[in-house]
Chain A
Amino acid sequence: MGRLHGTLGVALAALLVPAIAVAQEKTLIINSFGGSYEEHHRRLVIEPFEKEFGVRVEVVTAYSGDTLAQLRAQKENPQFDVVHLSGGLETIAATDGLLAPIKPEELSNYGDMYPFAVAGIEDGIGPMYSTAAIGLLYNTEMVKTPPTSWKDLMQPELGSHLLVTDAASNTYGMLAMLMMNQVNGGDLGDVTPGLDFVKQLLDNGATVVSKSPEIQQNFAQGTAWIAAYAQDYAFTLTSAGLPVKFVQPSEGAAFAPITVNLVAGRPNRDLAVKFIDFSIRAEASAGWAEALRYSPTNRTVELSDELAAEVIYGEEAVAKLVGFDPVQIGESRGEWNEAWKRALTK
């Protein structure tokens, strides 16, 4: 009897040890962006993933810039499995070798994605699980004729009622600057036309803001009528009761990627890839559009007409989105920041 118990005990222990080891392994460490974004993130992706795969996901609240800084500092001993980045920082991280490539066949949702959203995965740039469109926001009560072009910002009568977003500290601001540059004949190799355009806007009296809440403040106080900014932020403003509408200008809106990336040099790659695959499924993409008006990157997403009108939706509208080469942005951004600061400083 004693011997049988002993054997059973050993057998049980043998069964349990790997189970404990697996349980320890099955924790995924990710970042999210905090606030209501993180709440939606938990509801749409993190909690369903934990339930479906029986694992634990530990969320560290950190914006893209902070996350990249942490990844760099932890290069020898990374502490994240999956990181969410935005605004081109994923390209910088991938170029620095902080992120790991993923093969298309590893993602079951790969075929459902718009090609631009998964273009970089084999270079370590994770798939875009949603995007923010950068166009024009205007106050529907104060602006009689809605703007239709980026060049409409150059109406002297707009004067101080125009907000320009800082391109050096704010990615949406940088993309808006690149759009103004493009419609004025510039390209990524030469942003002078864009900077000259912005300088003229400033001479007309435009105000420069650097953070989203400043945009809300200026719209709420009635001093701002038009701003070049993101579609999802238009929703934030309308949710706050402000009469604001977003337009995709005739020259197109720029898109800001929001990506989910695989960190290089971590032991549980398989689970991390599953999380990434789970993040880009249609339900999640639709959920982001519904919750915060980020545009879906999964082409199988079905949206109601009302909702579809408030995001960039459908092949035709998506085709008009303007993408800028993230590698070149990564290379030139420092230079642009310097030129931008000089153009702005009084």
Chain B
Amino acid sequence: MGGATAGRPRGFSVAWRRHKEALVLIAPGALVLVLAFLFPVGHILVLGFLGEEGVSLEHYAAFFVDDYYLGVVGRTFRLAFVITACCLLVGFPLAYLAARVGPRARILLILLVILPLMTSVVIRTFGWLVVLGPGGVLSDFLQAIGLTGAPTGLLHTETGIVIAMVQVLLPFMVLTVLGVLQRQSADLEEAARTMGASFWRVLRTVTLPLSVPGIVSGSLIVFALSISSFITPTLVGGVRLPVLAGSIYQAATGSFDWNFAGVQSTLLLLTALAVIIPYASLMRRRTSWQTGAAPGAGHE
């Protein structure tokens, strides 16, 4: 007995001695994470369950019986799906091109894709306000080619939100897909072509299936960023097209209803996790399958 109780602290001190450097190195990061992330997020999770008298589900009930908020959630997800699909449609060909051209052209393409990331999303969104707004470039263009007679624009429309968001999130898709495409051996495609497959058939049966991990992971990043983004939908969409993140901001700073903001934040977090966790486990299974199968496949 005595030996067992004495063993525990010794075990700890052994662990400490063995991992001292690692523990010291991780401490500042862990501290920041606890103070700036876990603590506030935990606080918000708790707020959603606090009623007038102790623990209560009243704020959740208020959310789920309300057509308005369900509509906000509906718009948020609808937009996120469309944005993700558009990012994929635009991003995959771009990534494919970047992966198959020479190194110099690739750097140029990558630079073009990540250059917008160097600018704040707020600044880029303000740019879109000028372009999409009435009396803006788009409006002038439509008038010049005679499509519309009066100043018009895509400001305060869902189309406008999608256009601006795709521009903001495209780099995440392109870079993720590019990473996977670059690891693919071009020999596989060439082999398929020599066997007489057309470009499209190769794309469909070789390139695309092998790119699935990149496509899935890029889509998830874009989707998660899209449902939680706030600045661009709020500025481009305006108050008549509320999304979930904007609604949280409004509840916290407009109505000072922190409990309700907590409910909405928790639901946003849960939906993001509901998308990410199955993906993570799927990817783990896939990776183990690939590493298991890879040597054989490589030699075929």
**A contact residues around B63 at 8 Å (CB):** none
Complex: chain B residue closest to A65, CB-CB = B253
Within 8 A of B (CB), among A327-346: 333-334, 337-338, 341-342, 344-346
Select one of A208, A223, A333, A345 contacting B255, CB under 8 A. Answer: A333
**B contact residues around A221 at 8 Å (CB):** 133-136, 151
A149 interface hit (Cβ, 8 Å): no
**B contact residues around A169 at 8 Å (CB):** 239, 250, 254
Contact A207 B250 (CB under 8 A): no
Contact A168 B135 (CB under 8 A): no
CA distance A169 to B135 in the complex (A): 25
**What is the size, in residues, of chain A's interface with B at 8 Å between Cβ atoms?**
27
Contact A209 B238 (CB under 8 A): yes
Select one of A209, A333, A342 contacting B68, CB under 8 A. Answer: A342
Contact A69 B253 (CB under 8 A): yes
Select one of B135, B156, B255 contacting A222, CB under 8 A. Answer: B135
Interface of B is mostly: loop
Known A-B contacts A208-B238, A341-B68, A344-B239; A334 and B257 likewise in contact (beta carbons under 8 Å): yes
B18 interface hit (Cβ, 8 Å): no
Nearest Cβ in chain A — how far from B271, in angstroms?
21
Nearest Cβ in chain B — how far from A211, in angstroms?
9
CA distance A216 to B136 in the complex (A): 14
**B contact residues around A65 at 8 Å (CB):** 253-254
**A contact residues around B257 at 8 Å (CB):** 334
Complex: chain A residue closest to B136, CB-CB = A221
Known A-B contacts A69-B253, A169-B254, A337-B255; A346 and B135 likewise in contact (beta carbons under 8 Å): no
Contact B133 A168 (CB under 8 A): no
Known A-B contacts A221-B151, A334-B257; A341 and B242 likewise in contact (beta carbons under 8 Å): yes
Contact B156 A207 (CB under 8 A): yes
B256 interface hit (Cβ, 8 Å): yes
A210 interface hit (Cβ, 8 Å): yes
A218 interface hit (Cβ, 8 Å): yes
Other A-B contacts than A168-B254, A346-B241, 11 sampled, CB-CB below 8 A, are: A92-B256, A168-B239, A168-B255, A207-B134, A207-B156, A210-B239, A222-B135, A333-B255, A334-B256, A341-B68, A346-B240
A-B contact pairs, 5 of them (CB 8 A): A65-B254, A169-B250, A223-B135, A338-B68, A345-B242
A binding-site residues for B, Cβ under 8 Å: 65-66, 68-69, 92, 160, 166, 168-169, 207-210, 217-218, 221-223, 333-334, 337-338, 341-342, 344-346
B binding-site residues for A, Cβ under 8 Å: 68, 71, 129, 133-136, 151, 156, 238-242, 250, 253-257
